[in-house]
Structure 1
């Protein structure tokens, strides 16, 4: 489901600023993703995973970065900013990119095993297929299987 709720005047141009996506995986697991272009309270990225033994929550920018809810109670780490939370991921991403550029410059073939481009083209195609399925679902007003999209 998606709509232009923040800027309704852009709806006719196809700019949808708010979306909720439900994903059912082949193993039966279900995921829900929400997105909005107008988080006035700041950069917000969070994740929660629920399982048979509890829940793990991560990514709160202004609260504790991670919490664990179990039968024994709640545990939490110290508060962190998103830049601090993702510092290593950003550093690794830049290092991978620089390594790939150097390898190409030096004529090292990607299949040599000396470096790995991550994420790779297959990852990009999977992400594109998911995005196209979401767009098609909004157009149809019904669920769309990812393998129905052209990017697969």
Structure 2
């Protein structure tokens, strides 16, 4: 049984995704409005507790050339701090183009681009869908036995 939580951290919102018990399929869970680290950690910790999460999978916004830039370093620090507070291991997954993929998936399902950010956080958003794509990439790597590239801070 795999119990992982995917996170797409942004300056305004944090997309969350979960997976089925077999670790085959990731799905968008919800989107949190970013407030403070303490409030975010508390909300994420509650979800982790409810879902018995054992692994955090955080999207790392690498630059298009694959280098770690300022935003990626910020996400690494945030993810490592979150892992320490929640006492959970953290793995970072390349998230380049996941927001674009998420927008396309939602558009195909009939959700308009501009209405996504304004809806209730329980409906699909680009953020939670991007978190699901990030988590799905990691799940697929786990099943295939391919070791994902690790990104150190």
TM above 0.5, yes or no, is no
Higher relative contact order (CA 8 A, sep 6+): 2
For normalisation by structure 2, the TM-score amounts to 0.24
Larger fraction in helix: 2
For normalisation by structure 1, the TM-score amounts to 0.24
Which one has a bigger Cα radius of gyration?
1
